[in-house]
Chains A and B, each alone.
Chain A
């Protein structure tokens, strides 16, 4: 942002001229980049004509939700979102060889192995098949951080996002190629520099797997697998292989690196492999660090989700876990989908901790970290951790994450 002191008259005059010139020659996005925020402020917006309609809409220049990238992933700003659809450009990213550039006209999906008819489908072919749209979440299985007080929801568990996906049911394609009865697993392979592979039980294909080419009404973003990806609702995100180029049917798993040395975790004296379903979980996204709240009425807000079905209930504690009360769930509650919850609370100004815990329709209730340790041992690693988390509200209204050490 331009922090230089400019007189208001210069700023408004110059900005107005710049806006007109840019609008004549380019898209709206350039205007957003070209004009300082303050230039858009007038004393009275009813007294000046705004820019004309454009080809592509823009986010208000006053809004700056951003992902938080590391070397290997980028986290969705859960605390900045409303409702349950993640704007496509804020969808989390995790990839193993960067984002590949793929020409949709050259794109092909090969399906072979234990099939009657090995076949190749172009992107146009995929779009000709009967299509389906579905809203569901994706979540990386390594999605918990809790080491310090100054963590935002984005940093605690921002490797989850939700979109409306459109594509073809994988069962439709499997029917077309004639998957043989003895095929029990398939390999899904991406065309990124990691040529990412995972082995998937064929049953998932008959249940609800899709090959999707659209996200929230438009083509999938490159970061999410353009031009087409596998989508396995409710399963650890890594299995929904992006930039999907090949599916091979087999009668056994392939034991790829991403299902042996990675995406596995110690459970007591063994290593658990092929943990597909994401267990029920929730996070309060307001109030949360780094917000500061005032005494009085607070609507506690957040999202809950389960890879095993619908969220049945979310409970809230405002007294550090001593008592729990049901939150309101936003309808419609969808299968394997982020579900918004709300709980109206009157804060008396005393220090306390607020928590949420989700229960899904299978009867599974989100555990505490101690319960996870009891089930898996203290060396349980970082995958498939979905503990109840707490936000501490201090007397001054500042909100801090409450870290829990387990090693």
Chain B
């Protein structure tokens, strides 16, 4: 019997990636964002998508249950990890759905290896080459978030660039130092479902013991010229209130085949806060670019066998580096 939902490990060059697969049909790979893990993708996103597609979830290097190599955290290297994972899974070509950093990884793979990528969903990704500066003071909604952070005893400079990374670092430090934090919508990467305190500890370990702090802010070759070569269909779906919104307009202007969707009233974490719209858009987009005719709107037997269990994330030890 197979173990289609159990966590498995792919031994790649210099890294061990944890992954899980469920459903059947078109190959769709989900790529989480900075500081998160595959637990970021909640049940009300996964269930409807796994009813239609073969879904692969994985933890990027240094995140979740994957190993924590000392280097290799640029989007170029993270995209190479994904290419190797596709090789290991014998998936020649897949649709990629990336949130935040995950969207940049997807675009990087599509630019480097266009034959491996059927389509890309870019969900609220700041594309560094197109939006080089991201400061709180440039964001019209900063005031309300600043006030909520102040209630938690946190403070972030109005002028700091790459403030998402700094914010997650502060939030993780607070979570590790205290029993419980209020204001949960700020803490989605570290929510209970996404690994809670363990995710926060992992993020701090990643920033403090590896090259990630430097690598994650590197354009790493994903320039406007290279992005313009992404020929596959792209869905650029962004939250109306997100700090990454300027990237959506720039991507739309640059890419030859880009559908633009803005989620009304939503912030950066709309795949969690507005899952219904996200699911509807992703399903329609993937089905409209299905690689096989049978994939379109067909409910397939999704479970390979009776034995679908394996040790849960909670019971698993982290993969060895």
Tell me if chain B binds chain A: no
A interface residues with partner B (beta carbon < 8 Å)? none
Interface positions of B (Cβ within 8 A of A): none
